[in-house]
Amino acid sequence: MSTIKLKGYRRSNSLFGIRNHVVVMSTVSCANSVVEQIGKVDADSIAITHQHGCTHMGADTEQVLRTLSGTCDNANVGGILLVGLGCETANVDEIASRIDHSGKMVETLVIQEIGDLRRIMDVAHESLRRIKQFVSKQRRSDFDISSLTVGLECGGSDPFSGITANPAVGFVSDRLVELGATVILSEIPEMIGAEAPMESRIPDNAVKQKLLARIRDYVQMAKDAGGDLRGCNPAPGNIKAGLSTIEEKSLGCIIKGGHSDINEFVEYAGRPKCEGLVVMDTPGNDPESVTGMVAGGANLVLFTTGVGTPVGNPVAPVVKISSNTRMYQHMSDFIDIDAGKIIAGARIETVADEMFEFLLDVCNGTRTATEVNNCREFAVNRIGPAL
């Protein structure tokens, strides 16, 4: 089998980052303002804030911890400053203990321990100076593309998504799988009605049953919420573009996964154990879904859109692919690849080749539109209420 070598930052024997980000991570929403101020003063670092970290229960606590630590654990991150309040569930020590420190520097800061803001800023500044010195000494080395994990997402879909952009992504996905990489297909509600073409590609019966049960859960959740999926998925913008039902949207959505077998069903923000194509349990909400895949290790995300969206991620480049040329021209600086030219006669394989080459370039350092525009959405999927 032919292989492709890329340049990346070694974190452990099998994991390489295609970026070397320094992250300032808030561990609880109470620390958000402080984290934002640190991020403003230190433009080289990426400040990540969110609405979680405390007063959640059981599986939710585990999911929040997994997402926050998984984001820091992503191979694209070379240095982390964890900023906590001091009394929260998702405390800095708990999160630091879940991060594989190989090839990374992790420091912590607890607001209640330091006290006043001026000293907090001084301590943060010192920490970040050490971390940046550490990451600046790291050099890119060769790694095989099989170490790469790629997430797949579609957001703001239109009827062209399933005809142009998603089939092109499907070709790229199959090619990555052939090369031994890991590809994550996500968005369980957008598999409702598309069970039949997926089932036949899941060799392991336990994986198949878990996925089918989770799809049924989402139908039930929608019914329990007092209605059904109509009116919320497809979203109003999907319907305005011509998508009529969730089945139609789903059948177009899953084409991103190409024709490969599905080897694993991974929990939200969990790290896949299998290579090849896997499915992650994420909602259809784009920022939450992308955040889950990146926390699960995705180095890069291929994201198709019909009506256009800026959504990116703090630590993983998101390659934005338009399904139609009209939107591409309208929102050109948000889009990397226009698959709409398939409508005008370009072959799907040609666009897939262009996308694959661009993916390799992005791995080697080319910045995507989301990176250039600082689109850094971070949203944790929650299971239950806060107390």
Partner 1 sequence: MVTRPRQNLEDYAVILSDKDNVATALVDLPAGDYMLGSGSDQPAITVPEDIKGGFKLALSDIDKGGPIYKYGYLIGLATEDIAKGNCVHVHNLISSV
Q: Which residues bind partner 1 (CB under 8 A)?
A: 158-160, 162-163, 192-194, 196-197, 219, 228-230, 239, 241-242, 244-248, 251-252, 324, 343
CA-CA-CA-CA torsion sign (318, 321, 327, 330): positive
Cβ closer to partner 1: 189 or 287?
189
CB nearer partner 1, residue 74 or residue 250: 250
Query: Which of 154, 264, 149, 172 has the alpha carbon at shortest distance from 211?
Result: 264
User: 83: part of which helix (H) or strand (E)?
Assistant: strand 77-84
Q: Least distance (Å) from partner 1 to the CB of residue 162? A: 7
CA 99, 101, 102, 106 dihedral sign is: positive
The conformation of residue 288, written as its DSSP 8-state character, comes to H
Sheet holding 77-84, edge to edge: 46-48, 21-26, 77-84, 105-110
Question: Helix (H, G, I), strand (E, B), or coil: what is residue 153?
Answer: strand
Ordered strands of the 16-17 beta sheet:
16-17, 5-10, 141-144
CB of 233 to partner 1, least distance (A): 10
- Residue 231 C-beta: closest distance to partner 1, Å: 10
Least distance (Å) between residue 341 CB and partner 1: 12
Judged by CB, which is closer to partner 1: 204, or 247? 247
In 23-107, alpha helices (H): 32-41, 58-73, 92-97
Considering the complex, state which of residue 71 and residue 324 has its C-beta at the smaller distance from partner 1: 324
Q: Which is nearer to partner 1, 246 or 290 (CB)?
A: 246
Nearer to partner 1, 87 or 225 (CB): 225
DSSP structural state of residue 368: P
Neighbours of 206 (CB within 10 A): 9
**Smallest gap from residue 190 Cβ to partner 1 (A):** 12
Phi, then psi, of 9 in degrees rounded to 5: -95, 120
Whether 167 and 255 have beta carbons less than 8 Å apart is answered as yes
d(CA 324, CA 159): 10
Closest CB to partner 1 among residues 169, 229: 229
Closer residue to partner 1 (CB): 41 or 221: 221
Nearest distance from C-beta of residue 301 to partner 1, angstroms: 24
Compute the distance between CA of residue 302 and CA of residue 305 in angstroms, rounded to an integer. 10
Q: Minimum Å distance from CB 91 to partner 1?
A: 42
Residue type present at position 301 = V
Minimum gap (Å) between residue 37 Cβ and partner 1: 45
